[in-house]
Structure 1
Amino acid sequence: MPITTSPLIIAHRGNSSVAPENTLPAFESAALGGSDLIEIDVQVSEDGVGIVIHDDTVDRTTDGSGPVAALRAAEVRHLDAGSWFAPAYSGTALPLFADVVEVLLRHRGLGLLLELKGAWPAEPTKLLLAEVTEAGIDDRVLVQGFSVEMLRTLQAVAPQLRRGLLISEFDDATLELAAELGVVALNPPATLILERPEVLARIHEAGLEAHVWTPNTAAEWAPLVDAGVDGIITDRPDRLTGWLAGR
């Protein structure tokens, strides 16, 4: 019998099909369109500030060039992160993490799936996550990453925050690692769950959540919802919202 509980709708880089990914317009669109959480990527700047961008360089999604780690936050502020997507978004700024905190404070029902890219040093990690705690939104944030080193740092500097491990594969060692890192979620690609449904059962048996990435069509969503995934990270949160409502 299909599972009837709806998964969380998680907007991948915001509502990135209608606005430039990882920008404030994409986050606002996701919030107003019914998403439960926004998923964002954060890189650390040369001066230790969280910059909301997926790639480790600014080349693909801005009019600038070079590694994020070689730029200071003040320099990043002047980049155009919207023109590449559509002329209507010309001049859209590349957000700092503090800007995302402001979005969450405006939209009290919105959660955050925060991916820290790579393995950050302890000090900038501590400073960034202090913004979460100071804003009083610890309970609305799940911090995730692929890097085991990053998860260990999170465990040390912000043990009060919920953590998730992004995975591409799954075996017995995955559950052992999850227990060691103290995570509450193992977040796999949707293809892994579609091809190996027993993986989801094992994640749930371990008492962990599974938020899958990044299915964008009803043909993919249907078996994932029936299987009982906890969240769907998608580029089409607007369509997923409507599809779930009408299902």
Structure 2
Amino acid sequence: MTVVIAHRGNSAVAPQNTLAAFEAAWRAGADMIELDVQLTADGAVVVIHDDDLDATTDGTGRVGDHTLEQVRELDAGSWFSPAFVGTRVPTFDEVVQLLLTRPGTDLLCELKGEWTVEQARKVTGPIVEAGLEERVIVQSFWPGTVAALREAAPQLRRGLLLLEAPEDVVDRCQELGVMTCNPHGMLLVQHPDLLGRLHEAGLQVMVWTLDETAHWAAAVAVGVDAIITNRPDRLAGWLAARQTDSATAPAGV
């Protein structure tokens, strides 16, 4: 069964990368929640996608130029809907606590940009301390960050995100010791052999970010392991319907 991964939570029904979106993803039956983390000026780990605050909060400027206290004062929900006025940018510790109380949904955590080993431990430490090693995959576009994660907590599962598909991608994955390689959906179209090469190397493939039924069907047909989507509720229902149809189809059909 294809794994359903909620991109920044159930970001179609609640503001992305907030506890409300993560709760909605859990209620929608997502297998995993995908989120993004960045560091504040005082070294705290917060959950937000953009380097700047402008798009998803009422603040301005770079996340890394603000302290945790300053980031936590911002409204991260009113841009999405008046119903979410006062929603805050979550800390990573809050996400860990949410996972502990929401069984059945795991975490795919992306570290944005370059992180040192010491910085990476700010993410891996709470995961290990909470005993969530089997429920979390950490990933990044940045090979240096993936290497830092390996040194910080070699027991955690890791992934490499892809926006391009270099010829040596399998070698890179093996050097970094990742268990999944996660490409943009168009890469599977542009490089028809990519999925097979990754699977032959023993790697899982979690494709992003697919929101249309036709794209889900194409991804399932070629055998991706997981789909990252902004519509986890719809994808979960679509997959369940396919499974039901397959189970009830007459023999030979």
TM-score grouping bracket, smaller chain normalisation: over 0.9
Structure 2 counterpart of 1:236: 231
Root-mean-square deviation (CA, aligned residues, Å) is: 1.0
> Which among 139, 142, 164 is matched to residue 144 of structure 1?
139
Structure 2 counterpart of 1:3: none
> Which among 49, 57, 65 is matched to residue 52 of structure 2?
57
Whether the 8 Å contact between 1:132 and 1:138 is mirrored in structure 2 is yes
- With normalisation by structure 1, the TM-score equals 0.96
Which blocks of at least 5 consecutive residues in structure 1 are unaligned? Answer: 1-5
Q: Deviations over 1:72-131 (max 9, x none)?
A: 112111110000001110010110001111110111211100000001122221122100
Computing the radius of gyration from Cα coordinates, the structure with the larger value is: 2
Whether the 8 Å contact between 1:101 and 1:132 is mirrored in structure 2 is yes
User: One-letter code of the match for 1:125?
Assistant: A
Whether the 8 Å contact between 1:185 and 1:210 is mirrored in structure 2 is yes
Distance in 2 separating the partners of 1:214 and 1:241: 15
Residue aligned with 1:139, SS = helix
Structure 1 counterpart of 2:93: 98
Number of positions where the alignment pairs a residue of Structure 1 with one of Structure 2: 242
- With normalisation by structure 2, the TM-score equals 0.93
Which blocks of at least 5 consecutive residues in structure 2 are unaligned? Answer: 243-253
> Which among 199, 207, 210 is matched to residue 205 of structure 2?
210
Distance in 2 separating the partners of 1:170 and 1:192: 7
Structure 1 counterpart of 2:39: 44
Distance in 1 separating the partners of 2:120 and 2:236: 33
Structure 2 counterpart of 1:159: 154
Does residue 17 (structure 1) correspond to residue 31 (structure 2)? The answer is no
The ranges of structure 1 where at least 4 consecutive aligned residues each deviate by more than 4 angstroms after the TM superposition are: none
CA shift, 1:9, in A, is 0.2
Distance in 2 separating the partners of 1:151 and 1:157: 10
Does residue 32 (structure 1) correspond to residue 27 (structure 2)? The answer is yes
Residue aligned with 1:108, SS = coil
Whether the 8 Å contact between 2:124 and 2:149 is mirrored in structure 1 is no
User: One-letter code of the match for 1:149?
Assistant: G
Kindly indicate whether structure 1 or structure 2 has the higher relative contact order, using CA contacts under 8 Å at least 6 residues apart.
1
